[in-house]
A and B are shown apart, each in its own frame.
Chain A
Amino acid sequence: MLSNVQEWINDRWPVKEVWKAATEEEIPGGASYAYVFGSATLFLFLLQIVTGIWQIFYYVPTTDHAYQSLSYLRLNVPFGWLIHGLHFWGATAMIVLVAVHLSRVYIWGGYKKPRELTWLLGVLLLLFTMAMSFTGAALPWDETGYWASEVGTSIAGTTPFLGNVAVDLLRGGAQMGQLTLSRFFILHVAIIPAILLAFIALHLVAFRKKGSVGPWNESKRKRIGAFWPDQVFKDAFVFTIILLILIGLAAFFAPPFSGPADAIDTTFQPKPEWNFLFLYQAIKAFQGPWEPVGTIGIPTALFAFFFLLPFVDKNPERNPRKRPIAMLIGFIIAGGITTLTITGYYSHPGAKQNGGSVATASAKPGKAATVETVSAKQPELPPLSPAQKSGATKGAQVFATMGCTACHTVNGVGGHVGPDLSGEGLKAHSAAWLTTQIRNPKSHDPKTVMPPFTMLSNVQVGELVDYLTSLRSTAAPAAAPSTSVASHTPQTPPPNVRVIQLPSQVGEPGLAASMVGNVGHGKKLFDANCASCHGMAGKGGVANPGSYLGTIPALDPVRPELFSKDPAVFADNLDRFIENGAAPPGPSPQKAMAPMSMVGYGKTQSLTQQEISNIIAYIMSLNGVNRAKILHPGIAPKTFFFLALGIFILLWLILGTMRLVSTQGKTTASSEAEKK
């Protein structure tokens, strides 16, 4: 019956012939583990297709939701961590295997006649694989991918003549944006994979036509092995090992959450995917008009070498020992790429720059100090104009209500985190200097903890400047006991007033609450924007005279009303405050001592939603909650890995015993036959 069906189909579709063409191949010298890399790459490519398709069940290629959709897949979908982890590490493994496969063929002289076309198709496959890696990295629309794409497409832009057109075409416009993501998406999931499939087919047909290259040693070539099942068994064995390694990587080294893409971020250090690091490092050697040499010249030269190789090196000799020049060139290329990749991996250009700017900054306060002493000797300051006087009165109110008093003392009232400003008007800081200090304090001293008051209007800053210029008290600033204001005894609130607002009373959370931020990046942002009020690492202790609490709430630990073990709820609670701000109640304020309130950083756009998401992740990590916690793992990643490992070890043991028993059985049978 079954054979009838087989025959019926075979009469109409050549199953047998196709199977024969796919499996029947003689391998000179026999099957070998040296030949598994091509099939391993193919296996990985198929795995990438499957994991890729599965990701599209959840992923959307839009700039406002790509990151969230991927986070959702990874944290909320059962085995989403596995699907994404396999795809992420599979991409890396594919590049590695392609490189090993290429090196193997190079060493064996497999590019020589009659296999030139197989080689050329292979080199093209390498190019397309790199293109997959480049377009794929952009899709999460996270910091890593966004900046790698920004720089990568800019590199294309440095190409002489066609560069600008090329970069606009890649990006779908002059700037990175939704159209860039759409283009990268369609290239990554449809166009390049289709090309890859076609070229893999061509590569395989060419390979089958001329067969395996086999050992260079004539005597070893006499033994003939079969592709099916000898080589395929070895391939399958290697696949399982690769699969286990990938599952292990996905379980133990999950791809990082680098935070949602933020186009105005200056703290992130963009680096390309590891497989482009050699180029990134090489580019640094060429600057100015020579830049295209690094960006375009080097990769072009590299691929030109690979393309021309079979036509230049026509000597049929395949033994590597008798091909010193080819081996030397190969060694130089491999060594060069490896060295550049490693140096690229460990290079931190941003860190160096930071160090530099710190050095120049440390020189600055000294200069400022000399300016101050000089001005102190010149008591004839211009008197205040009437306009300045009225500005100063309003400025005093801004000073009292926008939180300045928490850190700065004026005439004995206020905190001691920042300098006493009672005599600020005597320092002869220009209005422009003061404006910059308020708007962007880090431009004067990169180490300052003073937050940038970007939420103030220009008018308010002007009034503050007038106020500060009017402060001309010559009395020596009071000694700064570190706890003076913090120890200010808070007044008991009336019974119907809550000391602290509940999240539900503040307002709705913003988009930031739904984005999984990056803790490290969040720490930087926290130090720059939040630490001056909430204390370094959220430890609190900064005075808020005038509020019932007396201090600004610490964030480590946060108040129990805000805490939740559910990362989404915790993030929501925190974001309600960061988005909308908060105004702690206090006793009826005297003018100078109104309780300092928190500005709505999201609402006023003082911070981007992306930045806020990173800060949330950091505050949550201070409280022992992982923003990127896997909520629905299916099976816990590590358990799943050990489960898979156990299954395969058991399988290998069973197969090994089966083989042993059958060979032993045979030898005993044959020896018994001999006896007879």
Chain B
Amino acid sequence: MEKSEEPKIPEQHDPSRRSFLKIGTGVIGGFATLILAVPFLDALVSQSLRIKIGKFVNAGPVSSISSGNPQKVFFDERDRDAYIEEVERRDVWALKNGDNEVTVFSPICPHLGCRYNWHPEREEFICPCHGSVFAKDGKVLHGPAPRPLDTLPTKIQDGELYVKWERFKLGVPKKIVV
């Protein structure tokens, strides 16, 4: 039905109307984007910043830890990782100082998150990744580690050791729970 030869009357192109429509479209579109962008970004950001609160878990009787050298202690914790609930196996280094005193180190090097080891012949903790060396009590002897080994909160009840599993910010001098 289109006949281009027929005369067409273009709509009155009022320049102020045109610019109003352009600005209006931009403003409406901008606000619609903003109303969606804020929540959508928040859905990713706050979720990433959420701190996980640990709870004390029974890590076995204190009597099973031998005095003197640090010892690896394993225990199971029922953990909820987002929507997956599983029993996780935890490992920590425990140093028994007395019948009622145990220091528990997180097994994760405070430098960049590798797992360090106890070298009984040297009586030092050594991280295999970047060569950080820690004393028996966790102090940095040398290497790039910015702070001593992270201790975990513990309590002893009826001869049983309870440990609260936590993770800390890596690579910084201060011990910050994440």
Contacts and interface: CB of A to CB of B under 8 A. Distances in A.
A515 B16 CA distance: 58
The binding surface of chain A is classed by DSSP as helix
Interface residues of A, number: 57
Interface stretch (B7-15, B66-74, B128-136): B7-15
A71 B83 contact: yes
Contacts of B46: 78, 632, 634
A240 B28 contact: yes
Contacts of A224: 8-11
Contact of B11 (A79, A80, A230, A666): A230
A79 B43 contact: yes
Interface in B49-90: 78, 80, 82-85
Interface stretch (A145-153, A264-272, A381-389, A644-652): A644-652
Interface stretch (B18-26, B93-101, B144-152): B18-26
A557 B12 CA distance: 73
Contacts of A511: 85
Nearest to A508: B78
B27 A651 contact: yes
Interface centre among B7, B18, B36, B80 (most CB of A within 10 A): B36
B1 A316 contact: yes
B120 interface: no
Nearest to B30: A651
Contacts of B9: 222-224
B82 A229 contact: no
Nearest to B45: A78
B42 interface: yes
Contact of B43 (A78, A318, A666): A78
A65 B83 contact: yes
A635 interface: yes
The binding surface of chain B is classed by DSSP as helix
B8 A659 contact: no
A634 B27 CA distance: 25
Contacts of A316: 1
Contact of A79 (B2, B8, B13, B42): B42
Contact of B25 (A83, A236, A247, A514): A236
B25 A229 contact: yes
Contact of A237 (B8, B28, B36): B28
Contacts of B47: 77-78
A503 to B, nearest CB: 13
B22 A229 contact: yes
A82 B78 contact: no
Contact of B83 (A47, A68, A243): A68
Contact of A222 (B7, B22, B42, B84): B7
Interface centre among A47, A72, A513 (most CB of B within 10 A): A72
Given A225-B11, A233-B24, A236-B25, A83 B83 contact: no
A658 interface: yes
A54 interface: yes
Interface in A468-505: none
A514 B44 CA distance: 22
B36 A655 contact: no
A635 B28 CA distance: 22
A655 B1 contact: no
A232 interface: yes
Given A50-B36, A655-B27, A229 B18 contact: yes
B7 A232 contact: no
Given A508-B78, A634-B42, A659-B20, A644 B8 contact: no
Given A514-B83, A655-B27, A658-B20, A222 B39 contact: no
Contact of B39 (A82, A232, A648): A82
A640 B11 contact: no
Contacts of A54: 40, 43-44
A30 interface: yes
A580 interface: no
Nearest to B39: A79
A3 interface: no
Given A233-B25, A635-B39, A226 B11 contact: yes
A640 B39 contact: yes
Contacts of A232: 21, 25
Interface string A57-84: 1100000010011011000111110110
A473 to B, nearest CB: 51
Contact of A318 (B1, B25, B84): B1
Given A57-B44, A77-B43, A655-B28, 5 more contacts: A50-B40, A79-B39, A80-B43, A634-B39, A647-B35
14 contacts: A30-B11, A50-B36, A65-B83, A77-B47, A78-B47, A79-B40, A224-B10, A229-B18, A230-B11, A236-B25, A514-B83, A648-B31, A651-B31, A662-B20
Interface of B: 1-2, 6-11, 13, 16, 18, 20-22, 24-25, 27-29, 31-32, 35-36, 39-40, 42-44, 46-47, 78, 80, 82-85
